[in-house]
């Protein structure tokens, strides 16, 4: 299991979620609805990070 660091910045009705892979320092960002649960926002950011890592050949 990879270590993923998350940062969440709330701004009114929106939240910006950053997900960073600790091993490769690859970072992705997404914007979501602040009414969604923290778990669902983190899951979406983790899926995007996994996509980017696979696309770039950094995930085996």
Rounded mean pLDDT, 12-35: 98
Residue 49 near residue 21, CB atoms below 8 Å:
yes
Q: Which domain holds residue 33?
A: 4-55
pTM beyond 0.95:
no
Position 60 in a domain: no
pLDDT tens digit sequence for 34-60: 999 999 999 999 999 999 999 999 987
If one counts the domains in the chain, the total is 1
Tokens of residue 51, six digits: 């996509």
Position 51 in a domain: yes
Residue 33: its pLDDT value, please?
Answer: 98
Indicate if the alpha-carbon torsion angle 60, 19, 27, 49 is positive or negative: positive
Q: CA distances (Å), 31 to each of 1, 11, 23, in order? A: 25, 10, 24
The DSSP call for residue 51 is H
């Amino acid at each position: 299991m990879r270590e993923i660091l998350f940062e969440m910045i709330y701004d009114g009705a929106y939240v910006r979620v950053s997900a960073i892979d600790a091993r490769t320092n690859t970072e992705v960002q997404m914007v979501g609805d602040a009414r969604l649960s923290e778990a669902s926002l983190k899951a979406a950011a983790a899926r995007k990070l996994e996509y980017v890592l696979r696309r770039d050949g950094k995930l085996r």
